[in-house]
Chain A
Amino acid sequence: MAELDLNRVPMPKQEPGARAKNFNEVALGYSQEQAIAEATRCIQCKKRPCIEGCPVGVDIPEFIQALRDSDIAEAARVLKSKNALPAICGRVCPQESQCEASCTLAKKNAPIAIGRLERYVADWELNHSSGDKPDIEIAPATGKRVAVVGTGPAGLTAAAELAKMGHSVTMYEALHVAGGVLMYGIPEFRLPKDIVQAEVNYVRSLGVEVKLDAVMGKMTTVDELLEEGYDAVFLGTGAGLPMFLNVPGENLKGIYSANEFLTRTNLMKAYLFPEYDTPIKLGKTVAVIGGGNVAMDAARCALRLGAPKVYIVYRRSREEMPARLEEVENAEEEGVEFKLLTNPVRFIGNDEHWVTAMECVVMELGEPDESGRRRPVPQPGSEYQMDVDTVVVALGTTPNPLVPTTTTGLETSKRGTVVADPDTGKTTKPGVWAGGDVVTGSATVISAMGAGKAAAASIDEYLKGT
């Protein structure tokens, strides 16, 4: 047997100094040689634990084997048979806690770089496919109609799966472009918008119709969709409602929710203002409140928009940060500074109502709370002022109530999430399924895709019986 190769092939990246000044993709992707070299490290073990680690069950060893044999088209076919959006997953999945964590070589601290290989194969496929005719087999038409509400990762996955099963699928999107959080939230430098649209087009190529500018709950309702003859509805409306700190001064100018900040920057392309009409205005010192991936995205956008000083202000310590380690490192390399165990309690503004400072309190960590992380406790008398002229509040999001409040018989939790069976996505309303952030609260792209896929299987089962 050949000796184990424990040297992961690194992925080329833009240099931190250069990339912090542009919106181009940070990670540049493998070359073919690099991809095949990394694929060759896979020992094709018998147990195949990586598949278990993938929320959508991609046959990872098989696509890696095809790649190693230089049959990239076959690798793509294997990948796409389980994952409709591999170019997206290859970029934004937390592989380190999923497939790569389960890899046999992870025990030697050298798991196969499955995400990078997935990205390589998916990008190759996007560049080589004809674009019109999918290579995936589509089942004969069943005559059943399914409405998918929301075109984010959950919706796109459910729609693709249902279309492959032969159902007629129509997607409803409130914004002017499909993709949900993949378009408005995750920045261009982490997930290029052309990639997202290429994946959306793939879903379209399966026969899925996408209705844009269609605000569910306003233009029409889920009840009406069912009355109008849809046999089933899948809700993948995400968690789009921003949370604020609810402290004095939060409505001052210069204070954005992360949703607003990222939507202006990514969806509306404010970084290309005035070529694009939507502006964004930053001062010299930006404080991003929060420690998740969205906070890192906002901080890194702020640098790229020209802010000289960008802070992440987080109330716990680095260990408790929910952001991916890779994103924290990227932010730090680019020059983002971290103010940990710090919590804003009030914002102070000038005569023009523009924020000029925030009063912070120093926190210390107490006993673990219900999340298992140590609870931050304010230290009395530790208040101090920090001069800032731009603030981005990235505390997380909850589901937008527009759909739940206009749908009869749909049970929601106290947190505003739609109650659904975790295995099937079935809601309390007959004919209606839900999955992704609208059920779990803000989580990951891949978990939303997993939920979309599971719901599609359950919907298919249900439609066979109707």
Chain B
Amino acid sequence: MGMGNPALLACSEPWARNTERERREMFRIEKREDLTPEIHLFEIAAPEVARKAQAGQFVIVRADETGERIPLTIADWDRDKGTITVVFMEVGKTTRKLATLQQGEYLQNFAGPLGVPTHIEKYGTVVCVAGGFAIATIVPIARAMREAGNKVVSIMGFRSKELVFWEERLRGVSDELIVMTDDGTYGRKGLVTEPLKELLEGDEKVERVIAIGPTVMMKFSSLTTKPFGVKTIVSLNPIMVDGTGMCGCCRVSIGDVTKFTCVDGPDFDGHLVDWDELMARQRTFCDEEKRSLELWQHSSGRT
């Protein structure tokens, strides 16, 4: 890169030292757990974030000095230990970089808790639907909903048996749990929308649905509940940069208004989300992400 003034390099040393020092005191990976070969759990030392974290919020993470800022949902927290638990799936370069970090190593940056916490209230019967690694996100929400006096029925869906994780953890915070796999290798065969529809058609009145997972799953969960008029909250995952309301990259159309997911969400009424726009925007940097990942895999000898 071009340096405006090479002699100033001497001045940047204390900066680097300072960053190093600050970093070494925080954001240590206290625990790493591989939930599946591609889904990992980090328990990160971040006492000030842990003090405030609530269900439904997220953190912005950077893996290293050249890394991008990505949002990760908070899966759990321990205010006494001062840790935040995040769960992520290896998708692109950043999540793959993160996956190379081991227990005892550090994240470059970790900021939060961001976003508006999920609204928790006693509704009656609440159905929590989660797909894939979002199981980790729904657990604290289901727990909070149950603590608020709701009957919680959870549905968890995976592509296949080997990807199932946290079944017991979600069962522990739910009154009922339905496990689905796309290929039928575990639990019931089919998509999460099938038992969701059955519950809505059943005798018990469902007061609220929380659906979190891949965007397409949230879209179809919302479409499933719409004819029944049951309010459905989804947790959106658009591309973000700062995560504090500064850039507007995460803007989404909710009904007729534009909202910033990072500060107005991430929870929104699924019946009002412009899903096609969201999915299109999520693909904005597809080509760049692919190129970046391939180069990194090639240069680091990873496949």
Contact = CB atoms under 8 A, between A and B. Distances in A.
Given A215-B112, A251-B281, A195 B292 contact: no
Among B3, B15, B26, B69, max chain A CB count under 10 A is at B15
26 contacts: A24-B3, A24-B4, A174-B111, A175-B242, A194-B5, A195-B5, A201-B15, A210-B18, A213-B111, A214-B111, A218-B112, A219-B48, A242-B248, A244-B258, A250-B258, A251-B258, A256-B248, A257-B248, A257-B249, A260-B249, A264-B241, A276-B68, A277-B66, A277-B68, A353-B277, A353-B280
B288 A127 contact: no
Contact of A194 (B8, B66, B274, B296): B8
Given A201-B14, A268-B68, A241 B8 contact: no
Interface string A163-202: 0000000000011100000001000100010110110110
Interface string B225-267: 0000000000000000110111111011100001000010000
A236 to B, nearest CB: 15
Nearest 4 pairs between A and B by C-beta? Answer: A192-B4, A353-B280, A279-B288, A260-B247
A230 interface: no
Interface on chain A toward B: helix, strand, loop, or mixed SS? loop
A127 B11 CA distance: 8
Nearest to B16: A197
B142 to A, nearest CB: 24
B289 interface: yes
Interface residues of B, number: 64
Nearest to B97: A277
Interface of A: 22-25, 123, 126-127, 129, 131-132, 174-176, 184, 188, 192, 194-195, 197-198, 200-201, 204-205, 210-215, 218-220, 240-242, 244, 246, 250-251, 253, 256-257, 259-260, 263-264, 268-269, 272-279, 281, 352-353, 400-402
A352 B277 CA distance: 9
A450 B6 CA distance: 30
Contacts of A273: 288, 292
Given A192-B4, A353-B277, A240 B15 contact: no
Contacts of B67: 277
B11 A198 contact: yes
A100 to B, nearest CB: 23
Contact of B241 (A210, A213, A278): A278
Contacts of A272: 1
B280 A131 contact: no
Interface string B190-215: 00000000000000000000000000
Interface of B: 1-5, 7-15, 18-19, 22, 26, 48-49, 52, 62, 66-69, 93-94, 97, 108-114, 241-242, 244-249, 251-253, 258, 263, 274, 276-277, 280-281, 283-285, 287-289, 291-292, 295-296
A427 B46 CA distance: 32
A240 B113 CA distance: 19
Nearest to A91: B4
B246 A242 contact: yes
B52 A219 contact: yes
B109 to A, nearest CB: 4
A272 B288 CA distance: 13
Contacts of B5: 25, 123, 126-127, 192, 194-195
A195 B8 contact: yes
Contacts of B110: 213
A281 B247 contact: no
Contact of B246 (A188, A195, A241): A241
B289 to A, nearest CB: 7
Contacts of A204: 14, 18
Contacts of A259: 246-248
Contact of B66 (A23, A198, A219, A275): A275
A200 B109 CA distance: 19
A251 B253 CA distance: 8
Contact of B111 (A176, A220, A256, A264): A176
Nearest to A276: B66
B11 A197 contact: yes
